[in-house]
A and B are shown apart, each in its own frame.
Chain A
Amino acid sequence: AQSVTQPDIHITVSEGASLELRCNYSYGATPYLFWYVQSPGQGLQLLLKYFSGDTLVQGIKGFEAEFKRSQSSFNLRKPSVHWSDAAEYFCAPEGTNAGKSTFGDGTTLTVKP
Protein backbone atom coordinates (compact mmCIF):
# COMPACT_ATOMS: atom_id res chain seq x y z
CA ALA A 1 0.00 0.00 0.00
CA GLN A 2 1.13 3.53 -0.67
CA SER A 3 2.18 5.50 2.37
CA VAL A 4 4.12 8.55 3.42
CA THR A 5 5.78 9.20 6.75
CA GLN A 6 6.85 12.43 8.32
CA PRO A 7 8.65 11.21 11.43
CA ASP A 8 8.83 14.58 13.18
CA ILE A 9 5.52 15.85 14.48
CA HIS A 10 6.94 19.06 15.87
CA ILE A 11 10.29 20.79 15.32
CA THR A 12 11.56 23.92 17.02
CA VAL A 13 14.50 25.85 15.61
CA SER A 14 16.02 29.22 16.35
CA GLU A 15 15.71 31.96 13.80
CA GLY A 16 18.69 31.85 11.50
CA ALA A 17 19.38 28.18 12.14
CA SER A 18 19.22 25.53 9.45
CA LEU A 19 16.22 23.27 9.04
CA GLU A 20 15.60 19.79 7.73
CA LEU A 21 12.16 18.18 7.65
CA ARG A 22 12.07 14.50 6.88
CA CYS A 23 9.78 12.64 4.53
CA ASN A 24 9.83 8.97 3.62
CA TYR A 25 7.48 7.26 1.25
CA SER A 26 6.53 3.77 0.25
CA TYR A 27 5.20 3.43 -3.26
CA GLY A 28 5.44 0.74 -5.91
CA ALA A 29 7.18 3.12 -8.28
CA THR A 30 8.84 6.44 -7.63
CA PRO A 31 6.01 8.90 -7.18
CA TYR A 32 5.95 12.54 -7.98
CA LEU A 33 6.86 14.39 -4.80
CA PHE A 34 5.57 17.64 -3.36
CA TRP A 35 6.04 19.73 -0.26
CA TYR A 36 3.28 22.07 0.85
CA VAL A 37 3.18 24.68 3.60
CA GLN A 38 0.10 25.71 5.53
CA SER A 39 -0.05 28.70 7.83
CA PRO A 40 -2.67 28.58 10.60
CA GLY A 41 -6.17 28.80 9.19
CA GLN A 42 -4.87 29.13 5.66
CA GLY A 43 -4.81 27.03 2.54
CA LEU A 44 -2.03 24.92 1.08
CA GLN A 45 0.85 26.55 -0.72
CA LEU A 46 3.15 24.50 -2.93
CA LEU A 47 6.79 24.92 -1.90
CA LEU A 48 8.43 22.67 -4.44
CA LYS A 49 8.00 19.54 -6.51
CA TYR A 50 10.01 16.71 -7.99
CA PHE A 51 9.06 14.80 -11.10
CA SER A 52 12.36 13.58 -12.52
CA GLY A 53 15.87 14.70 -13.35
CA ASP A 54 18.04 16.64 -10.94
CA THR A 55 17.50 15.20 -7.49
CA LEU A 56 18.01 18.52 -5.74
CA VAL A 57 15.07 20.81 -6.38
CA GLN A 58 14.71 24.44 -5.48
CA GLY A 59 11.47 25.92 -4.31
CA ILE A 60 10.01 29.17 -3.13
CA LYS A 61 10.99 31.03 0.04
CA GLY A 62 14.52 29.63 -0.05
CA PHE A 63 13.51 26.00 0.45
CA GLU A 64 15.07 23.05 -1.30
CA ALA A 65 14.53 19.31 -1.19
CA GLU A 66 16.63 16.34 -2.15
CA PHE A 67 15.21 13.16 -3.61
CA LYS A 68 17.12 10.05 -2.57
CA ARG A 69 15.81 6.98 -4.32
CA SER A 70 17.89 4.55 -2.25
CA GLN A 71 16.34 5.89 0.95
CA SER A 72 12.85 6.59 -0.45
CA SER A 73 13.19 10.04 1.02
CA PHE A 74 12.45 13.58 -0.01
CA ASN A 75 13.67 15.79 2.83
CA LEU A 76 12.99 19.50 2.89
CA ARG A 77 15.78 21.89 3.86
CA LYS A 78 16.40 25.55 4.42
CA PRO A 79 19.80 26.97 5.35
CA SER A 80 18.51 29.84 7.48
CA VAL A 81 15.02 29.87 8.94
CA HIS A 82 13.00 33.07 9.27
CA TRP A 83 10.29 33.66 11.87
CA SER A 84 7.72 33.75 9.06
CA ASP A 85 8.51 30.12 8.23
CA ALA A 86 6.60 28.97 11.29
CA ALA A 87 3.82 26.82 9.85
CA GLU A 88 2.73 23.25 9.15
CA TYR A 89 4.62 21.42 6.43
CA PHE A 90 3.21 18.50 4.48
CA CYS A 91 5.00 16.04 2.27
CA ALA A 92 2.66 14.71 -0.40
CA PRO A 93 3.67 12.05 -2.90
CA GLU A 94 1.46 11.65 -5.93
CA GLY A 95 1.08 8.29 -7.59
CA THR A 96 1.95 8.56 -11.24
CA ASN A 97 -1.14 6.65 -12.27
CA ALA A 98 -3.56 7.98 -9.71
CA GLY A 99 -3.03 11.68 -10.02
CA LYS A 100 -3.93 12.28 -6.43
CA SER A 101 -1.71 13.11 -3.51
CA THR A 102 -1.40 11.29 -0.23
CA PHE A 103 -0.48 13.72 2.49
CA GLY A 104 1.79 12.98 5.40
CA ASP A 105 0.72 13.79 8.94
CA GLY A 106 2.60 17.05 8.76
CA THR A 107 5.40 18.64 10.73
CA THR A 108 4.72 21.73 12.77
CA LEU A 109 7.61 24.15 12.70
CA THR A 110 8.09 26.62 15.55
CA VAL A 111 10.73 29.32 15.17
CA LYS A 112 12.31 30.75 18.31
CA PRO A 113 13.51 34.36 18.23
Chain B
Amino acid sequence: EPEVTQTPSHQVTQMGQEVILRCVPISNHLYFYWYRQILGQKVEFLVSFYNNEISEKSEIFDDQFSVERPDGSNFTLKIRSTKLEDSAMYFCASSERSGAGNTEAFFGQGTRLTVV
Protein backbone atom coordinates (compact mmCIF):
# COMPACT_ATOMS: atom_id res chain seq x y z
CA GLU B 1 0.00 0.00 0.00
CA PRO B 2 1.41 3.43 -0.89
CA GLU B 3 2.48 5.55 2.03
CA VAL B 4 3.93 8.90 2.91
CA THR B 5 7.47 8.60 4.17
CA GLN B 6 9.30 11.10 6.32
CA THR B 7 12.97 11.39 7.12
CA PRO B 8 14.59 11.52 9.54
CA SER B 9 12.38 9.99 12.21
CA HIS B 10 14.15 12.02 14.87
CA GLN B 11 16.33 15.10 14.52
CA VAL B 12 18.17 16.97 17.21
CA THR B 13 19.42 20.44 16.40
CA GLN B 14 20.91 23.36 18.23
CA MET B 15 18.91 26.51 18.71
CA GLY B 16 19.50 28.94 15.87
CA GLN B 17 20.41 26.27 13.37
CA GLU B 18 18.54 25.62 10.16
CA VAL B 19 16.77 22.31 9.78
CA ILE B 20 15.12 20.65 6.80
CA LEU B 21 12.48 18.00 7.28
CA ARG B 22 11.89 15.76 4.33
CA CYS B 23 8.81 14.02 3.05
CA VAL B 24 8.04 11.81 0.10
CA PRO B 25 4.30 12.04 -0.60
CA ILE B 26 2.32 9.36 -2.36
CA SER B 27 3.28 9.52 -6.01
CA ASN B 28 -0.01 10.50 -7.67
CA HIS B 29 -1.00 12.99 -4.98
CA LEU B 30 -1.15 16.67 -5.79
CA TYR B 31 -1.82 18.33 -2.44
CA PHE B 32 0.71 18.40 0.34
CA TYR B 33 0.51 19.47 3.94
CA TRP B 34 2.62 19.98 7.02
CA TYR B 35 1.22 19.71 10.53
CA ARG B 36 2.96 19.85 13.85
CA GLN B 37 2.20 18.45 17.27
CA ILE B 38 3.92 19.84 20.32
CA LEU B 39 4.34 17.14 22.94
CA GLY B 40 1.07 16.51 24.74
CA GLN B 41 -0.90 18.90 22.57
CA LYS B 42 -3.13 18.60 19.56
CA VAL B 43 -2.12 18.42 15.94
CA GLU B 44 -1.95 21.86 14.32
CA PHE B 45 -2.09 22.74 10.66
CA LEU B 46 0.93 24.60 9.32
CA VAL B 47 0.67 24.85 5.56
CA SER B 48 -0.84 23.36 2.43
CA PHE B 49 0.88 23.31 -0.94
CA TYR B 50 -0.42 22.78 -4.44
CA ASN B 51 0.90 23.44 -7.90
CA ASN B 52 4.24 24.60 -6.55
CA GLU B 53 2.85 27.24 -4.29
CA ILE B 54 1.40 27.65 -0.84
CA SER B 55 -2.38 27.46 -0.95
CA GLU B 56 -3.00 28.13 2.72
CA LYS B 57 -0.96 28.69 5.85
CA SER B 58 -1.68 29.15 9.51
CA GLU B 59 -0.48 31.91 11.80
CA ILE B 60 2.15 29.51 13.09
CA PHE B 61 3.78 29.42 9.66
CA ASP B 62 5.76 32.62 9.93
CA ASP B 63 8.78 33.86 8.00
CA GLN B 64 11.13 31.34 9.56
CA PHE B 65 9.27 28.52 7.85
CA SER B 66 9.34 27.66 4.17
CA VAL B 67 8.26 24.74 2.05
CA GLU B 68 9.53 23.48 -1.23
CA ARG B 69 9.03 20.72 -3.72
CA PRO B 70 12.55 20.58 -5.09
CA ASP B 71 11.90 17.71 -7.46
CA GLY B 72 9.08 15.43 -8.51
CA SER B 73 9.06 13.38 -5.36
CA ASN B 74 10.17 15.31 -2.28
CA PHE B 75 8.35 17.90 -0.21
CA THR B 76 10.41 19.71 2.40
CA LEU B 77 9.81 21.95 5.39
CA LYS B 78 12.65 24.28 6.29
CA ILE B 79 12.95 26.07 9.59
CA ARG B 80 15.55 28.79 9.17
CA SER B 81 16.61 29.53 12.72
CA THR B 82 15.19 27.03 15.14
CA LYS B 83 13.86 28.02 18.53
CA LEU B 84 13.28 25.85 21.56
CA GLU B 85 9.53 26.11 21.01
CA ASP B 86 9.89 24.55 17.57
CA SER B 87 10.46 21.22 19.29
CA ALA B 88 7.56 19.06 18.15
CA MET B 89 6.50 16.16 15.99
CA TYR B 90 6.10 17.31 12.41
CA PHE B 91 3.73 15.39 10.18
CA CYS B 92 3.66 15.50 6.43
CA ALA B 93 0.49 14.55 4.59
CA SER B 94 -0.66 14.30 1.00
CA SER B 95 -3.93 13.87 -0.80
CA GLU B 96 -5.16 13.40 -4.34
CA ARG B 97 -7.50 16.34 -4.21
CA SER B 98 -8.44 19.17 -1.95
CA GLY B 99 -12.01 19.77 -0.94
CA ALA B 100 -13.32 17.66 -3.77
CA GLY B 101 -14.80 14.89 -1.70
CA ASN B 102 -14.15 11.20 -1.34
CA THR B 103 -10.51 11.66 -0.57
CA GLU B 104 -8.48 12.12 2.50
CA ALA B 105 -4.98 13.09 3.52
CA PHE B 106 -2.52 10.30 4.20
CA PHE B 107 -0.11 11.07 7.01
CA GLY B 108 3.50 10.10 7.40
CA GLN B 109 4.88 8.70 10.64
CA GLY B 110 6.31 12.06 11.59
CA THR B 111 9.70 13.57 12.36
CA ARG B 112 10.37 14.36 15.97
CA LEU B 113 12.37 17.58 16.10
CA THR B 114 14.19 18.39 19.30
CA VAL B 115 15.81 21.81 19.60
CA VAL B 116 18.43 22.06 22.32
Contacts and interface: CB of A to CB of B under 8 A. Distances in A.
Given A51-B101, A97-B99, A44 B43 contact: yes
A100 interface: yes
A70 B104 CA distance: 24
Interface stretch (A15-23, A77-85, A101-109): A101-109
A101 B98 contact: no
A32 B101 contact: yes
Nearest to A42: B109
Interface string B25-48: 000000101010000011111001
B74 to A, nearest CB: 18
- Max chain A CB contacts within 10 Å: which of B55, B99, B101? B99
Interface residues of A, number: 25
Given A90-B42, A100-B56, A105-B42, A34 B104 contact: yes
B37 to A, nearest CB: 8
Contacts of B108: 43
Interface in B59-116: 91, 95, 97-99, 101-102, 104-110
A43 B35 CA distance: 12
A104 B42 CA distance: 7
B56 A103 contact: no
A103 B42 contact: yes
A43 B101 contact: no
A106 to B, nearest CB: 6
A92 B42 CA distance: 11
A43 B42 contact: no
B33 A100 contact: yes
A102 B56 CA distance: 13
The 7 closest A-B pairs by CB, nearest first: A99-B98, A43-B109, A103-B43, A44-B107, A99-B99, A97-B99, A105-B42
7 contacts: A32-B104, A42-B110, A43-B108, A46-B104, A92-B43, A94-B99, A100-B56
